């Protein structure tokens, strides 16, 4: 069963890394948009905030699924992502 566990951990790790990368990009773009006040920036900001909420929900699901394994690092990464 260990090869399956190892594979699951690897996939979880890759998925978490992907989500964190997406979150970083979204947060960076939101920071850029905060200095603009035109309609296009407001619309993009609304969409990005919804996407960010979706990404955070997915990230929380993955972290809770992987709880109990050496994914304490994943939980730490989640806290860092939420802090931004």
Domain residues of the chain, as ranges?
2-83
What is the number of other CB atoms lying within 10 angstroms of the CB of residue 40? 9
pLDDT at site 63: 86
Q: In this structure, what are the phi and psi dihedrals at residue 30, rounded to the nearest 5 degrees?
A: -60, -40
State how far the Cα of 56 lies from the Cα of 78, in Å rounded to an integer: 8
pLDDT at site 76: 66
The whole-chain average pLDDT of the chain stands at 85
Please determine, for residue 79, whether its predicted confidence score (pLDDT) is greater than 60.
Answer: yes
State how far the Cα of 21 lies from the Cα of 84, in Å rounded to an integer: 12
Stated pTM of the model: 0.73
Please determine, for residue 21, whether its predicted confidence score (pLDDT) is greater than 60.
Answer: yes
Please determine, for residue 71, whether its predicted confidence score (pLDDT) is greater than 70.
Answer: no
48 within 8 A of 30, measured Cβ to Cβ: yes
State how far the Cα of 14 lies from the Cα of 61, in Å rounded to an integer: 14
Question: What are the structure tokens assigned to 11, written together?
Answer: 């996939």
């Amino acid at each position: 069963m260990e090869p399956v566990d190892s594979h699951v951990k690897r996939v979880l790790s890759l998925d978490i890394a992907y989500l964190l990368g997406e979150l970083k990009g979204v947060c960076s773009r939101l920071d850029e948009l905060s200095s603009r006040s035109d309609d296009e920036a407001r619309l993009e900001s609304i969409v990005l905030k919804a996407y960010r909420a979706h990404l955070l929900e997915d990230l929380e699901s993955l972290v809770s699924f992987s709880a109990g394994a050496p994914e304490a690092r994943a939980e730490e990464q989640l806290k860092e992502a939420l802090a931004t």
